[in-house]
Amino acid sequence: MAGDKALAATQGIREMLMECQARGPAGPDRSYFKFLLIRFDDYASIDPQCDLRPVRKIDPDRIEILGDGGQTNITAGLELALERLRPYMDDLHNHAERAEHPLPLVLVFSDGQHNVGNMPNQAAQEIKSLQLDGEPIVIASAGVSIGDDHADDQTLQAVASSGCYVPINSAQSLTAFISSVGSSGASRPADIAKVLKGL
Amino acid sequence: MLDRTILDQLISAHADWLRQEGHPVVLSGAFAAPPYRGSVHSCFGPADQDKCPENQDFALVWTRAKDGPGLRLVAALADGLTSSYRSDWAAELACWTGVKLLTQHYTEAMPPRQLAGAVFTSVAAALGQLCQQLTADPEASCPPEQFLSTWKYILAKGLLLQTTLTLAWLDHEMLRVALIGDGGVFLRYYQPDRADEILATCDLSTNLVQPLGPGYVGPLQEWIERPAQAPFRCALTTDGIVRGLGEKPFDLLDDVEKRCEENPARTYIENAIAQRPGDFADNLTLILLENA
Lowest mean per-residue pLDDT among A31-35, A96-100, B113-117: A96-100
> Does A17 sit within 8 Å of B85, measured CB to CB?
no
Residue with the larger pLDDT of the pair A83 and A148: A83
CATH class of domain segment(s) A3-197: alpha beta
Cβ–Cβ contact B15 with A under 8 A? no
CA distance A115 to chain B (A): 37
Q: What's the pLDDT at A27?
A: 72
> Does B153 sit within 8 Å of A19, measured CB to CB?
yes
- Given a cut of 70, whether residue B1 has pLDDT beyond it is no
The helix/strand/coil state of B189 is strand
> Does A25 sit within 8 Å of B153, measured CB to CB?
no
- Given a cut of 90, whether residue B69 has pLDDT beyond it is no
Q: What is the domain partition of chain A in residue ranges?
A: 3-197
Q: What angle do CA B84, B125, A17 make, to 5 degrees?
A: 25
| Mean confidence (pLDDT) of chain A | 90
CA distance A180 to chain B (A): 14
Search chain B and give the residue with CA nearest A28: B145
A130 vs A90: CA distance, rounded Å:
9
Q: Name chain B contacts of A21, Cβ cutoff 8 Å.
A: 146-147, 150
The 10s digit of each residue's pLDDT in B140-171 is 889 888 899 999 999 988 889 999 999 999 98
> Does B154 sit within 8 Å of A26, measured CB to CB?
no
Q: What's the pLDDT at B38?
A: 96
Q: Name chain A contacts of B159, Cβ cutoff 8 Å.
A: 22
CA-only gyration radius of chain A, Å: 16
B269 vs B95: CA distance, rounded Å:
20
Residue B57 — very low, low, confident or very high, per pLDDT cuts 50/70/90?
very high
Cβ–Cβ contact B207 with A under 8 A? no
> Does B149 sit within 8 Å of A60, measured CB to CB?
yes
Q: HEC states along chain A?
A: CCHHHHHHHHHHHHHHHHHHHCCCCCCCCCCCCEEEEEEECCCEEEEEEEEEEEHHHCCHHHCCCCCCCCCCCHHHHHHHHHHHHHHHHHHHHCCCCCCCCCCCEEEEEECCCCCCCCCCHHHHHHHHHCEECCEECEEEEEEECCCCCCCCHHHHHHHCCCCCEEEECCHHHHHHHHHHHHCCCCCCHHHHHHHHHCC
Q: What's the pLDDT at B265?
A: 97
The answer to whether residues A156 and A77 touch, using CB atoms and an 8 Å cutoff, is no
Percent with pLDDT over 90 in chain A: 62
- Given a cut of 80, whether residue B207 has pLDDT beyond it is no
Give the total number of structural domains in chain B.
1
- Given a cut of 90, whether residue B241 has pLDDT beyond it is yes
Lowest mean per-residue pLDDT among A149-153, A165-169, B87-91: A149-153
Residue B52 — very low, low, confident or very high, per pLDDT cuts 50/70/90?
confident
Q: What's the pLDDT at B289?
A: 97
Search chain B and give the residue with CA nearest A59: B147
> Does A60 sit within 8 Å of B150, measured CB to CB?
yes
> Does B83 sit within 8 Å of A23, measured CB to CB?
yes
- Given a cut of 80, whether residue B2 has pLDDT beyond it is no
Q: What's the pLDDT at A183?
A: 92
Q: What's the pLDDT at A14?
A: 96
The 10s digit of each residue's pLDDT in A45-69 is 999 999 999 999 999 999 998 877 7
Percent with pLDDT over 70 in chain A: 100
Interfacial residues of A (vs B; Cβ cutoff 8 Å): 14-15, 17-19, 21-28, 30, 56, 59-61
- Which are the contacts of B47, defined by CB distance < 8 A and separation ≥ 6? none
A101 vs A95: CA distance, rounded Å:
8
b/e sequence B72-101, b meaning 16+ C-beta within 10 Å: bbbbbbbbbbbbbbbbbbbbbbbbbbbbbb
Search chain A and give the residue with CA nearest B52: A25
> Does A26 sit within 8 Å of B52, measured CB to CB?
yes
Q: Name chain A contacts of B154, Cβ cutoff 8 Å.
A: 18, 22
> Does A26 sit within 8 Å of B143, measured CB to CB?
yes
Lowest mean per-residue pLDDT among A112-116, B1-5, B75-79, B106-110: B1-5
The answer to whether residues B95 and B74 touch, using CB atoms and an 8 Å cutoff, is no
Residue B268 — very low, low, confident or very high, per pLDDT cuts 50/70/90?
very high
- Which are the contacts of A177, defined by CB distance < 8 A and separation ≥ 6? A12, A107, A109, A142, A166, A168, A196, A199
Q: By CB neighbour count within 10 A (0-12 exposed, 13-18 middle, 19+ buried), where does A113 fall?
A: middle
- Given a cut of 80, whether residue A82 has pLDDT beyond it is yes
Q: What's the pLDDT at B275?
A: 96
Q: Name chain B contacts of A22, Cβ cutoff 8 Å.
A: 83, 85, 150, 153-154, 157, 159
Cα–Cα distances in Å, from B253 out to B201, B281, B287?
Answer: 15, 20, 11
- Given a cut of 80, whether residue A29 has pLDDT beyond it is no
Alpha helices (runs of H) in chain B, residue ranges in sequence order: 5-21, 87-105, 112-136, 138-141, 148-157, 239-245, 251-257, 264-275
The helix/strand/coil state of B238 is coil
Q: Which residue, among A21, A97, A100, would best test binding to B if mutated, counting the most B CBs under 10 Å from its CB? A: A21
Say if the ipTM goes beyond 0.95.
no
* Domain span including residue B139: 5-291
Residue with the larger pLDDT of the pair B290 and B292: B290
Cβ–Cβ contact B147 with A under 8 A? yes
Q: Name chain A contacts of B145, Cβ cutoff 8 Å.
A: 26-28, 56
